[in-house]
Amino acid sequence: MKAVSKTDLYRKLPSLDELVHNQELASLVSQEGQSAVNDSARAVLARIREEITAGRLDAEGVDLALSGIISAIERELRQSLAYSLRTVINATGVILHTNLGRAPLPGSAFQHIHEIAGNYSNLEFEIDKGARGRRDIHVDRLFRRLLSEELAAASPIHDVSTIVVNNNAAAVLLVLNTLAEGGEVIVSRGELVEIGGSFRIPEVMTKSNAILREVGTTNRTRLADYESAITDKTRLLLRVHRSNFQITGFTEQPRVEELVALARRRNIPLLEDLGSGALFDLRSVGVNDEPGVLESLRSGVDVVTYSGDKLLGGPQAGILSGRRDLITRMRANSLFRALRVDKLTYAALEATLLAYVKHDHDAIPILRMMRLSKEDIGKRAKVIVEKIRRPDLSVNIMDGESVIGGGAAPSAVLPTTLVAVTSKTLTADELAARLRASNPPIIARVEDAQVLLDLRTVFAEQDVMVTMALQQI
Ligand SMILES: *Cc1c(COP(=O)(O)O)cnc(C)c1O
């Protein structure tokens, strides 16, 4: 082979201008625009030039690269214009997976978003009066219907008002700042939690300008501990749902009713950070230890905070429900303005709450998933297993457990049926990586050297994609 100088090799390359006006790129230009095509062509040319500089391409190599340059530009363009945020199939069986976006929205929620997002709306406008309105009324009316009307007039708090901020961390910040700035908040040492993604009670307390007054010990806190910590600086009693851990053994914690009684006696509001905040009675799916929003308010807690995208099954939001006079003070805090949510969140939340009003629990994906029986899931698993004909894969059905996740009911598990996959040639981690490389990516669990797929969190219409991915590994 005749040696060709690098200069000669560079000379073989077309100019950018020549390249981007190639007829073969014309349809790409009309689809995606000249400027995006130019960027991709520039990147591809630069890569070839680098290869030449590094001495990795000879004359033949350059010819080969040039023969494939149009498809290389097309690939580069597709990659550079692809969304970073994309759909995945959640086969982990963790219903509220914070890394996978927590609750998928009900169909009615994204239809409502679609309609509101692309148009003007009455977000802050009273149509009958032709005057400025408030954005929080759209969901407050539904919360009132779901909460106030359910709370008997005899319950200590029945006139419940609700506002919404960006997430539950923001909700806690807003209450602490509104009700306890410059004063003290009493919390049990057993409840000074950190929740995934660095939400830490002591740090939120500092940011809100309230002073944390810890009482009790990690495992035992008595009512008397709260009582003796109350001074004229005390502004709030705080109870926090432990969410992601349990304390077992020699433990003690006052019942919420006892804390309510103490709060009343000393005229100090009681705040409960519920975390998940179920509006649905989870006892019907065998989860007994997750306090609901109604239950907490019915016991007499003055304000509760909870997430919109955990057990409620709606969009990311922090919801504050409670005594009207206290909620009114929070609405007046300038932090409320800084933490406010946009019309898309209101649209999604309104649609989700309407499903609750109609008792249409199957419309809410996470509730539907929670209510699936092990047998329902087993039938779907069987269909998949029977379709896989691969001598190198062993695909079996086994019993297992799904978890709720998202800091809800940490000890609760739901019995499920799993598809267990092992390969003769790949390790379980390699197999899981192959599943993640399929389109859409499939996220599975790896346990005891097997890949485990839990169809509870897979939408039934995605079963066929799971089958195909297993077939094509
Ligand atoms: C999840 C959780 C939070 C944080 O809620 P985000 O909506 O993620 O901000 C706060 N407190 C508790 C008890 C939680 O479980």
Q: What is the CATH number of the domain that holds 419?
A: 3.90.1150.180
Count of the separate structural domains present in the chain: 3
Eight-state DSSP code of residue 278: B
pLDDT of residue 410: 67
In testing the pocket of ligand 1, which one of 195, 293, 341 has its CB within 8 Å of the most ligand atoms?
Answer: 195
- The CA distance from 247 to 217, in Å, is 12
Q: Give the CA-trace dihedral at 226, 230, 236, 240, to 10 degrees.
A: -20
Q: What is the DSSP secondary-structure string of 64-123?
A: HHHHTHHHHHHHHHHHHHS-SS---EE-S-EEE-GGGTSSPPPHHHHHHHHHHHTS---T
240 ligand 1 Cβ < 6 A: yes
Nearest to 258 by CA among 292, 223, 231, 293: 223
Which residue shows structure tokens 């030449």?
Answer: 52
Residues in the chain with pLDDT values less than 50 = none
Residues 276 and 397 in one domain: no
Using alpha carbons only, how large is the chain's radius of gyration in Å?
Answer: 29
Residues 391 and 446 in one domain: yes
- At 278, phi and psi to the nearest 5? -75, 140
The H or E element that residue 163 is part of is strand 160-165
307 ligand 1 Cβ < 6 A: yes
Which residue shows structure tokens 């969009």?
Answer: 315
Q: Which of 338, 363, 388 is the last residue of a domain?
A: 363
- The CA distance from 261 to 429, in Å, is 53
Residues 331 and 269 in one domain: yes
Residues 347 and 463 in one domain: no
How much distance in Å is there from the Cα of 61 to the middle of ligand 1?
56
Residues 126 and 250 in one domain: yes
Look up residue 452 and give its two tokens. Answer: 């485990």
Residue 102 covered by a domain? no
Look up residue 284 and give its two tokens. Answer: 């019907």
Residue 1 covered by a domain? no
- The CA distance from 114 to 371, in Å, is 28
- The CA distance from 289 to 411, in Å, is 8
Question: Which residues, 6 or more positions from 313, have their beta carbon under 8 angstroms from its beta carbon?
Answer: 103, 105, 106, 352, 364, 365, 366, 367
| Start-to-end C-alpha separation, the chain | 41
β strands within 310-444, DSSP E: 318-323, 393-405, 413-423, 442-443
Say if CB 390 and CB 396 are below 8 A apart: no
Residue 315 covered by a domain? yes
Nearest to 65 by CA among 138, 14, 25: 14
Look up residue 445 and give its two tokens. Answer: 């669990």
Residue 101 covered by a domain? no
305 ligand 1 Cβ < 6 A: no
How much distance in Å is there from the Cα of 409 to the middle of ligand 1?
13
Residue 313 covered by a domain? yes
Look up residue 255 and give its two tokens. Answer: 């019942």
Angle at 356 between CA 353 and CA 362, to 5 degrees: 115
- At 399, phi and psi to the nearest 5? -75, 150
In testing the pocket of ligand 1, which one of 164, 166, 173, 199 has its CB within 8 Å of the most ligand atoms?
Answer: 199
Name beta bridge partners: 240: 273
Pairing of strands 160-165, 413-423: unpaired
**Residue 303's domain is classified under what CATH number?**
3.40.640.10
- The CA distance from 200 to 203, in Å, is 5
pLDDT of residue 288: 82
Going by alpha carbons, the residue nearest to atom 14 of ligand 1 is: 275
Residues 238 and 344 in one domain: yes
Look up residue 376 and give its two tokens. Answer: 């329902």
Q: Where in the sequence is the domain holding 452, given as residue range(s)?
A: 89-96+368-472
pLDDT of residue 413: 87
191 ligand 1 Cβ < 6 A: no
Residue 435 covered by a domain? yes
- The CA distance from 67 to 94, in Å, is 48
Residues 384 and 398 in one domain: yes
CA torsion through residues 346, 271, 325, 158, sign: positive
Say if CB 127 and CB 291 are below 8 A apart: no
Q: Give the CA-trace dihedral at 76, 77, 83, 89, to 10 degrees.
A: -60
Q: Which of 363, 390, 423 is the last residue of a domain?
A: 363
Residue 44 covered by a domain? yes
- The CA distance from 43 to 56, in Å, is 18
pLDDT of residue 197: 66
Q: Which of 81, 115, 143 is the last residue of a domain?
A: 81
CB half-sphere exposure, 46, CA atoms < 13 A: 7
195 ligand 1 Cβ < 6 A: yes
Residues 293 and 438 in one domain: no
pLDDT digits (tens, 9 = 90+) for 232-283: 999 999 999 886 677 777 788 899 999 999 999 999 999 999 998 899 988 8
The H or E element that residue 279 is part of is none
Residues 159 and 295 in one domain: yes
CB atoms within 10 A of CB 334: 8
- The CA distance from 280 to 276, in Å, is 11
pLDDT of residue 291: 81
Q: Using the atom order of ligand 1, give the atom closest to the CA of residue 317.
A: 7
Nearest to 317 by CA among 291, 290, 352: 352
Residue 320 covered by a domain? yes
Amino acid found at 191: E
Residues 337 and 386 in one domain: no
For the entire predicted model, the pTM comes to 0.91
- The CA distance from 473 to 470, in Å, is 5
Residues 248 and 167 in one domain: yes
Residues 189 and 220 in one domain: yes
Amino acid found at 212: L
Pairing of strands 94-96, 393-405: parallel
